[in-house]
Amino acid sequence: MPELPEVETIRRQLAPVVEGCRIEDVEVLDPRWCEPAPPWEVANAARGRRIDRLARRGKYLVWELSGDVHLVMHLRMTGNLLYTDDARFARVRLRLDDGGSVVFADQRRFGTGVVLLGGDARDEYFASRLGVEPLSADFTAEHMRELARGRRAPAKAFLLNQERIAGVGNIYADEALFIARIHPLRPIGKLRGKQFEGLRAAVVEVLEAGIDARGATIDDFRHTDGASGAFQDRFLVHLRAGEPCVRCGATIRKIRAAGRGTYFCPRCQRAPRAA
């Protein structure tokens, strides 16, 4: 599933190509994409508008259109945005006035799109879904400690919760916990101040490294030209069960945490007493 670095990679590739263009048409080929809104409503709201900015919030891509209209997309499991006029599993096609097209391709069809009229509607939409943006100045160790206070959720589940920290998913949570030497099942409310410092820094470090490598391609994620990311070649623990820890040589283990396959070093990331 695309996480913050993958969505940011798409944004950085697409923004210089589409910003300033006008949308000639939005062809919703799969009406499920924008449910409950009908396809014509999305098309009517976007047609003829200029793309002022392609932005990102958490794992969402935000097409800021002229007239304060926002087309918000989520790629979910297998969504990709390709700069092309046709692709396998195409669900939506945006036709631009310079002759270019962007296709929302999505094999498993969990991706979504919604039109929000006005900045207030957009802010309200995100306020109910997303917490702090981890690459913003608001993401501090103190903020994280506040979010964690009194909570018994395992550290892994805490990082995956989009309503607290936006954009971190399974890959980057594993990598961040390894760097910070925190066991994925350790209750988040039990961390010490220094551990929050370490975890905050580790989250920022892995997200920036992911962006630097242009995302991780494990299954479906592709760049806007169909190329793959490279971060999967830099994983420290994720998907490395049975291999030696790069730090201490112990064997990386896989468990289930927060319903997801979770990788960690049993020596570097000490288990909490109860686990």
Site for Zn ion in 244-273 (CB under 5 A): 245, 247-248, 250, 265, 267-268
Ramachandran angles phi, psi of 31, nearest 5°: -60, -20
Count of residues touching Zn ion (by CB under 5 A): 7
- The candidate with the shortest Cα–Cα distance to 122, out of 65, 52, 75, is 65
How far apart, in whole angstroms, are the C-alpha atoms of residue 167 and residue 105? 21
Nearest distance in Å: CB 45, Zn ion: 52
* Positions 218 through 247 that interact with Zn ion (CB under 5 A): 245, 247
Least CB distance to Zn ion at residue 24 (A): 54
Three-class DSSP category at 25: strand
User: How many CB atoms within 10 Å of residue 44?
Assistant: 12
254 is annotated as an active-site residue: no
Q: Which of 11, 59, 93, 156 is catalytic?
A: 59
What contacts 78, CB < 8 A, 6 or more positions away? 1, 89, 106, 107, 108, 110, 111, 219, 220
Q: Kindly name the residue from 24, 260, 267, 272 that is annotated as catalytic.
A: 260
How many whole angstroms from its chain centre is CA 109?
17
Minimum CB distance to Zn ion smaller for 227 or for 248: 248
CB of 244 to Zn ion, least distance (A): 8
Name the helix (H) or strand (E) containing 28. Answer: strand 23-28
**x/- contact string, 134-153, with Zn ion (CB under 5 A)?**
--------------------
Question: For this structure, is 156 an active site residue?
Answer: no
Residue among 96 and 155 whose Cβ is closer to Zn ion? 155
**Nearer Cβ to Zn ion, position 43 or 185?**
185
- Name the residue with the smallest CB distance to Zn ion: 245
Cα 213 from chain centroid?
15
Residue in 3, 8, 64, 175 annotated catalytic: 3
CB of residue 248 vs Zn ion: minimum separation in angstroms? Answer: 3
Two structure tokens written together for 112: 């979504």
* Secondary structure string (H, E, C) spanning 72-120: EEECCCCEEEEECCCCCCEEEEEEECCCCEEEEEECCCCCEEEEEECHH
Taking the complex as a whole, the smallest distance from the CB of residue 173 to Zn ion amounts, in Å, to 17
Q: State how far the alpha carbon of 31 is from the alpha carbons of 25, 36, 82, 229, in Å.
A: 15, 9, 19, 30
- The interface mask with Zn ion, positions 25-44, x = CB under 5 A, is --------------------
Q: Give yes or no: 243 in active site.
A: no
Does residue 129 have an active-site annotation? no
Catalytic residues: 2-3, 59, 260
Residues in contact with Zn ion by CB under 5 A are 245, 247-248, 250, 265, 267-268
